[in-house]
Structure formats: C-alpha cells, structure tokens
Amino acid sequence: MPTVDIDPDELRELTGHEEKSDEELQEELFGLGLEFEGWTEDDEFELEFAPDRLDRLSVEGVARSMRYQYGDARGVHVPSTNSAEWTIEVDESVPDERPYVTGAVIRDVDLDEDGLDSLIQLQEKLHATMGRKRAKGAIGIHDLTMLKGSPATEGNPTIRYVGVEPDGDRFVPLDSDAELTPAEVLEEHQTGREYAGLVSEYERYPAIYDDVGLFSFPPVINGRRTEVSTDSRDLFVEMTGTDQWTIDKMLNIVCYALAARGATLEDVRVEYPDSELVRPDLSTKTKRVAHDRIETLLGIDLDPDEVIDLAERSGLAATRSENEATGDDGSSITPLEDRDGLEERDSPTGSDESKAEGVSTDDLVYEVAIPPYRVDVLHPLDVIDDLGRAYGFNDLEPRYPEVGTVGGRHERSRLERAARTQLVGLGFEDMLNFHMIDEGQNYERLGVEPGTDAYGAGEPATIKEPYSEDYTMLRTWCLPSLLQVLENNTHRAYPQHLSEVGFAAELDETENTGVGEGRHVGAVLASHGSGYEDAKARLQALARDFDVELETPATEHPTFIPGRAADVVIDGEVVGVVGEIHPKVLVEHDLEVPVAAFEFDIEALR
C-alpha cells in the first residue's frame, strides 16, 4: 500500500493542537485509516494509507481530516476564489491522446522548506495515484512571476497548450543546464527517459508556451525558467491529462492544500477550440441518501439530527430533502462556508429534544453535499460509510445474522478428499505443490516432448512476462513436482512414498477459457527395492476402493523404463500411466533409489 510522509510538528501547527504527543497523533491517525509505519530519516511519520482518500496525501489534507475528527471543524468548507485574470488557450495542435488541461493561479503563498517539500510530495503522490503515474494526469507548478502572457483579449495574460514537433523548440528542463528539444529530453534527461514511454508514440508532443516560449513539457518535465522556490510568492498550477474530471479533481486537492497555508486562489479560464471552462471547479456535489438505508446498513436506529451531526463531523453537509415533507424545518442545515470557531455543539447522541414525536423516518431522504476535494464518493453508500466512521464502527455491537442456510462441500472437493484419504491409508505422504512450473521441469527433465501423445505431454498454458524463470506455465501433470520433492529430500529418511491429488492444466480449445483444468492423482514410491509391482498394487487398491475396473496394458512412455510402463485404463478409458521411472530421469533428479510411480485423472474414480 502507498505511504505518505507527514511532519508531526506541522500537523500540530496546522490542526492547532500543539499539545498532542507523537503517540496520541499516531493513534488518532490510525483512526483515520493512516497507519504509522515508522519514522523517516527526516523525523517524519511514515504513514500507510488506503488509496481512497487522496485528499489526505499531504499534511494539509491530513490536518483537515483531523480537525473534523477533533470536532474543531464541521460541515463543508469551500475556499473562495478571485475572478480569472489568466487564460489557458488550447490549440488545435494538441495531441489527441492528451487533449485536456486545467489550471489555477495561487497568490500570496508563503512557502518555507517544509511547505515546499509538502507540495512536492503531494504532487508526487497524486501522480502515483490518481494520475496513474502521470499517464492520466500530470501536474506542473510554476513561479507565476516568471511567466509572460501576452494580453490576447482585453488585457488578460494567456498561456497556450499546444502540440509540437518532437525536434522543434528547445528549452532548459529542470535539473539541467542544456537547451534541449522535447525529443532530446526523452533521450538525454534522466526524468525524460523515465517518462518517455508516455509520449514517444505521439506524433506531436504536448507543450505549454508563454510569450517567452516553451516552459513546460507535460507530462514529462517543466522548464527551469519557472521553477518554484521558497521565494516564490505567486504560483501557476497547470495539469494535463486524458480525462478532464481527473485533472480537475487533482487540481482541487492542490488548491485546498495551498489555501490551508493561507494562499489566495484565483480562477483560470480554459479555452478549448469549441468550449470554455473556469477552473478550479470548487462546486459541491450532492448525493441523496435515504435514512432507512443508513439504519439498515449500520444496523442501528438513528435520530435525523444525529445523522446530520455525523455528516457535519465527516466534513459533509446533510439536509432533509425538500422533496419530502417533514414539517420540521429546524433541522435543515445549509452547507456552511466555514464553521470554524463556532462554539462547540453538544453531541446529539442520546439527545431526543429535536426528535418530533410521531414523525416517521420511513421516507426520509437527505441531500448530502460533498466537498470538491473528495474523489471517492461515487454512490450514496460512500456517504453512509463516512457516517459510520464518524459514529465509530467499533462502537457497533456485533450480532450473528439470523439467516438460515444449509452448508455443504462441492462434489469435486469431496472426491479429492476421499482419494487423499485412501492414499494416506496406503501409506502415502500427502503433498501440496505449486501449480506453476517451467518447461524444463515439466517436460525435459522427464524426457517428455510437449505436444506428443505421452501422458503429461499436453500443450501448456503459459505466463506472459513471468517474474521468475521457474514459474512460466501451469503444470500439465503432477509427477514432475513429486520428483522435485524427492530431489530436494535425498537427505531425508526412506522410504519416501509421496502422493498428490492436485491441479493440472493444458490447452484445450473446447473450453471457454481455452484451458482444460483437471485434478490428477499422482504418486511416487521411492525406496530400496521399489518396483513396478509396488505401484500397481496400490493402484489396484485405489481401483478397488472406488469400485472401478483397472487394466494396465503395456505402453511406451519416455519417463519410464521400457517394458515396465503401462497405461492406466479405468472402465475402458486410458486415463493415466504407471511404471518404473527410467534411470535417466532418476539420475537427472540426483536420485539413488528406484522410483515406481503412477498418475491418472481423478475423474476416472467417479
């Protein structure tokens, strides 16, 4: 799971709770789902987080959540924005693959080293998560004072998002002194090489220009000219991507973080060839949530006021829907601009004063406002989850559901268990091997040619780009695995009578998946004096146990000694092979004792 580094001192400062100890903070963070993993080299908390609350990827967002948790903040807070001065003009030449852009201007920031580090971390974490490693969304943050925008219309400065020739204009990228073309950046610059795969297939590369020239090459790298430092006062934030919603949400998270540090937000106009947007879009979204659903999902009875309170403590704002008449307008609460500093309200838990007698909650529905930094609320259920967290899931009393059902094993699993029980009774040690193997182990080391008629020689289902060369395919039979166990245990006491009732698979065009999956019964008898008869005797015992008719006509199989191998024929069908393992196979597995073996398809025992 991803992690985020948080400076506990900053957290104390931003929450206004200087008195909190590190341990208290860690415990409270755990309550938010941020698990303390350890300290970083810079004495920060390393916190593991579940990737839903992406608004908590920096200390500013975490502090906001904690203020709601402490009860210091309530409801929905939306920062105000000044009207737009700057425009991003989107040119027709922009690559079709990456058509979207968004942006905002941030003024009067006061970034110290910690603030700058936090902003850089937020950018990186957003890239890694929502931005899908910059493929879906990439962030560029610039020092506004370094930008020169020609007043295209009515004196408004403008920058342009365009598509450029890979070997066109040059610029000096971050962490470099050389003027490079975009194509050269992909080859020569370290960051360029890292992200080259995102744009190298494009005909034209994405680029952002001001009057001076190219200053950003999204999603790869910014130019050095507009680099942000602790001296920067005003910032220009631009984001490009493959989806407008995604980059707009990423922008909201960045805007909230900077606003929390006292900055002023300013709108930016985004002019597409055929439409125009004003960003950031800090409008709230509304979900309609039924009271009844909240109660059934949490398994508790709630007073409507309590629901509204829980919502506020979650940073949401719930009002009774206007569509249903309750006759009780006292509980209606509009989204709050900022409830900070208001006197603390008593927890309504257990308070019944506002619960109107006789008012049914059956059809009660809430309109719940969702703040613009939330990216995880897709459905009313997500609101109920927030309410549950605010209530405290661990305060709920577990109960065993009074639901009667009849249990039972799958027939296949019963058959396997029965076969395994008989094998153990016959003295076999039950094995449990991997289903994945490599071609060498599965075929070559047993002398088998894939695709031939020999038992176990079926064509393999293969793994794409295997992580390990030992696991490149699904095994077609169990004997190779059992021989490997013998090979790895030559220092252990004999006899080693091993069996496995296990998975095997091979290509089968008649299957919907193209893979024929089965279960095989495999066994090896390794000891001084093991011979064909030992294997056959046990095979006979199994056949008798399952009341099937066994025949063993002589056959040839490359894994076995000629003249000592037979087909396993059960009820008239060839389903496996039995014999004495060929010395060449034994030597290949470093074995110094004879091994008799059999393997067949368990379906034959039905």
Site for another protein in 234-253 (CB under 8 A): 243, 245-246
Query: Which residue of 113, 344, 512, 553 would you call a contact of another protein, by CB under 8 A?
Result: 512
Closest CA relative to residue 519, chosen from 411, 363, 385, 358: 411
The answer to whether 514 touches 508, Cβ cutoff 8 Å, is: yes
Q: Considering only the stretches 224-232, 256-264, 271-279, 429-437, report the one whose residues sit in contact with another protein under the rule CB under 8 A.
A: 429-437
- Answer for the pair 242, 96: CB distance below 8 angstroms, yes or no: no
Binders of another protein among residues 16 to 45 (CB under 8 A) are 30, 33
Number of chain positions touching another protein (CB under 8 A) = 96
Binding region for another protein (CB under 8 A) out of 186-194, 202-210, 383-391, 581-589: 383-391
If one asks whether residue 471 binds another protein (CB under 8 A), the answer comes out as yes
The CA distance from 454 to 459, in Å, is: 11
What span, in angstroms and rounded, lies between the C-alpha atoms of 554 and 563? 7
Applying CB under 8 A, does 229 fall inside the site for another protein? no
Among 424, 537, 554, 587, binds another protein (CB under 8 A): 424
| Residue 317 engages another protein in binding (rule: CB under 8 A) | no
Contact 229, 72 (CB under 8 A): no
Cα separation values, 239 from 52, 81, 242, 567, Å: 21, 18, 10, 67
Helix, strand, or coil here: 32? Answer: coil
- Going from the C-alpha of 373 to that of each of 84, 383, 430, 507, the distances in angstroms are 20, 14, 55, 49
Q: Which of 212, 336, 515, 593 binds another protein (CB under 8 A)?
A: 515
Contact positions with another protein (CB under 8 A) in 546-575: none
Q: Which two tokens stand for residue 389?
A: 């967290």
Q: Which stretch binds another protein (CB under 8 A): 48-56, 140-148, 163-171, 443-451?
A: 48-56
Q: Are 529 and 511 in contact (CB under 8 A)?
A: no
**425 is a contact residue toward another protein (CB under 8 A):** yes
Tell me: does residue 394 bind another protein (CB under 8 A).
Answer: yes
Closer Cβ to another protein, 325 or 432, answer by number: 432
How far is it, in rounded angstroms, from Cα 192 to Cα 219? 10
> Scanning the structure block, which residue is given the tokens 């000891």?
527
Cβ-based neighbour number of residue 392 at 10 Å: 10
* Residue 426 binds another protein (CB under 8 A): yes
Instruction: Answer yes or no whether residue 193 interacts with another protein by CB under 8 A.
Output: no
Which range, of 60-68, 156-164, 309-317, 430-438, touches another protein by CB under 8 A? 430-438
Rounded Cα–Cα distance for residues 147 and 25 (Å): 41
CB of 375 to another protein, least distance (A): 9
Hey, which residues between 134 and 153 contact another protein (CB under 8 A)? 135-136
Nearer to another protein, 41 or 400 (CB): 400
Q: Which of 80, 82, 349, 489 binds another protein (CB under 8 A)?
A: 489
For another protein, the closer CB: 152 or 298: 298
82 binds another protein (CB under 8 A): no
- Given a contact cutoff of 8 angstroms between Cβ atoms, the answer to whether 529 and 606 are in contact is no
Candidates 147, 237, 505, 597: give the one binding another protein (CB under 8 A): 505
Q: Roughly what angle, to the nearest 10 degrees, separates helices 304-313 and 291-298?
A: 80
Rounded CA Rg of the chain: 34
Among residues 427 and 562, whose Cβ is nearest to another protein?
Answer: 427
Is the Cβ of residue 148 or residue 379 nearer to another protein in the bound state? 379
C-beta of 521: minimal distance to another protein in Å?
14
Q: How far is the CB of 474 from another protein (least distance, A)?
A: 7
The one segment of 14-22, 229-237, 404-412, 546-554 that binds another protein by CB under 8 A: 404-412
Q: Which of 158, 157, 155, 183 is nearest to 171 (CA)?
A: 183
- CB 123 to another protein: min, Å: 18
Smaller CB distance to another protein: residue 177 or 467?
Answer: 467
Sequence-separated (6 or more) residues with CB below 8 Å from residue 502: 431, 432, 433, 435, 478, 481, 519, 520, 522
Nearer to another protein, 76 or 263 (CB): 76
For residue 600, what are the β-bridge partners? 521, 576
- Angle (CA) 163-169-171 rounded to 5° is 110
CA distance 215 to 208: 6
CB of 97 to another protein, least distance (A): 12
* Beta carbon of residue 269, minimum distance to another protein (angstroms, whole number): 22
